Amino acid sequence: MQRLVPSILILSLAGTAVAQSPWTREAGGGYFQLSAYTIQYDQLHRNSGPDFDTSREITDTTVEAYGEYGLTDEWTLVGRAPLKLLDAGSANAASTVPLSTLSDSFTAFGNLALGARRQLLLGEYVVAAQFDIEFPTGDFDRDTGLSSGYDAFTFSPSVAAGRSFDWGYASAYAGIDFRTDDFSSSWNVGGQAGTQISDRFAVAVTLDIVQSFQDGDVQLPRANLETGLYLNDQEWVALTLQGRYALNDAFGVQASIGGGVPANNVAKGAVFGLGFYYSW
């Protein structure tokens, strides 16, 4: 299984996180995935006090392209390009926040990301280090309060370890997200395990934990606070279940569902995903 274990894209509640794999691609080998994820919500999780009612019902859909390419057997380039399709719908009757936003849709790129993964150990156990840069390519619509990404750079060093078994594979990772422009940085840990149910069907489950250092004091527009998109000090403990069906040796489709409790400053609801992948 070793290098052939595919990197599985997992959506965090913020819509931007990729669970790091400890496996690199072979030189010239690659992996491409195009997926769509959506969540509908009118509340935000809060880790202290009652949950927050957004001023409107929000639909957050992400269409994301993710890719990996093996420069050498030890070095793999990774990249992610999300397109955000956002909608501010009807006023939320439960909200006690004075309504200051309009009902409308907003489409914009999210935070584009590039990175590199380096294989450190390859054998019964595999270990890899990764460094990603997320760019402030998102946008903000003041009329609706909808935001498509963090208005900050994010620098993310991490390390992952894993092992293949007769029944499948398991891996774990740990990292730090350093954010600029007065956003708080955070640490993250998690793990993933997957197994082959049949020749074509596989399932995987991922646990992701993100905790803020609460070291930033960015002042976001009131309209942004009303919608709850890409707020400061976002935190979560999330589980994601994914099923993957191989159409042939190269192409396949996948579906996922995820959610998180406890959490802070992130949408309250389930995230549904559907997409396809191609590997070579």
d(CA 35, CA 66): 8
* SS3 (DSSP) at 2: helix
CATH architecture, domain 2-279:
Beta Barrel (2.40)
SS3 annotation, 141-191: ECCCCEECCCCCCEEEEEEEEEEECCCEEEEEEEEEEEECCCCCCEEEEEE
What's the pLDDT tens digit per position in 47-79?
888 999 999 999 999 999 999 999 999 999 999
Instruction: Give domain limits for the chain.
Output: 2-279
Q: For position 14, what pLDDT does the model report?
A: 32
What's the pLDDT tens digit per position in 8-32?
333 333 333 445 899 999 999 999 9
Residue 142, Ramachandran bin (φ over 0: left; ψ between -120 and 50: alpha; else beta): alpha
The reported pTM is 0.91
Beta strand segments in the chain, E: 30-44, 52-70, 75-91, 104-109, 113-121, 125-134, 140-141, 146-147, 154-164, 168-179, 186-196, 201-212, 235-246, 251-264, 271-279
Q: Has residue 104 got a pLDDT over 50?
A: yes
Burial of 128 (0-12, 13-18, 19+ CB in 10 A): buried
